[in-house]
Amino acid sequence: MSQVTMDSSPRHVTIRRHGPILRLTHWINALAWVFLLMSGLQIFNAHPALYWGRQSNFAHPFLSMTASDRDPTRGITWIAGHPFDTTGWFGVSNDANGQPNERGFPRFVTWPSEQDLATGRRWHFFFAWLFVINGFAYLLSGIISRHLVRDLWPSWSDIRDIPRSVFEHVRLRFPRERHYNVLQKLAYVSAALIALPLMVLTGLTMSPGMDAAFPWLLEVFGGRQSARSIHFITATFLVLFVFVHVVMVLISGVINNMRSMITGRYVIEEEAHDPPR
């Protein structure tokens, strides 16, 4: 009697994971985000301190970056009244001539690099509107194609799968699957549907013209200074999101991930079974 054998070794299959609109909006977002961040830090450097409420309380910021009163070459970052020496990064960093200079964020992470509030605001507003328009295009495309619900919105089975997915990520095991895992879905939903809208609304709240047209914005966020602080915190969360996103792309298969976001083609692993003979 002949014995039937089954070949269950994984086989590689190429699928179309990302459509053209999603890929285009992704790269426009990446470009806009870089300039938004760098120009935003340029604007922050004009007054590197954050407050809560409607007005600035210069004596009690909850976050500030400044030079030490005793040593102007030392940078001090104050968080909730606690000082931290951040010389070279925050508070004091070298200028174009290599000399220590009082400055919130260093020149190599701001756009433009030298302190220029007016130019920084122009760059920020231009890319902010590009970011918003591009975001609406992505949202509309995702609704029409059902990408947001089908691929990004976590189901109850996804929620139950959180412990297993966390365990797999801790072990640095990233199976190539047709759909996003639950941690990816939660990260993308929190960024796209919570953090980004919050950042846009708080940005609008800081505009006197928008406040005149929509005075309820100030009431929602508790004043312009609170909106500025929330804007900064939300941007920090998005920086962490982008950092983790890039790290995951690198360690889970940079060629496969980049190819999927450039050409749309993504290679997955499926169990192969030979038919019985």
Taking the domains of the chain in order of start, what are their residue ranges?
10-47+110-271, 49-104
Side chain identity, residue 34: V
What is the model's pLDDT at position 272?
56
Cα 210 to its chain centre, rounded Å, is: 25
What is the model's pLDDT at position 178?
63
Other CB atoms within 10 A of residue 274 CB:
11
Side chain identity, residue 165: S
Q: Which CATH superfamily is domain 10-47+110-271 in?
A: Transmembrane di-heme cytochromes, Chain C (1.20.950.20)
What is the model's pLDDT at position 132?
93
Query: Which H or E run includes 13?
Result: strand 10-16
| pLDDT string in tens for the chain (277-residue length) | 434 444 455 677 888 878 899 899 999 999 999 999 999 999 999 999 999 998 888 888 999 999 999 999 999 999 999 999 999 999 999 988 889 999 999 999 999 999 999 999 999 999 999 999 999 998 888 888 777 777 778 888 888 888 888 888 777 777 666 678 888 888 888 998 899 999 999 999 999 888 888 999 999 999 999 999 999 999 999 999 999 999 988 988 899 889 999 998 888 876 655 444 4
What is the model's pLDDT at position 185?
87
d(CA 103, CA 88): 10
What is the model's pLDDT at position 80?
92
User: Is the sign of the CA dihedral 252, 258, 261, 267 positive or negative?
Assistant: negative
What residue has token string 């030490």?
A: 68
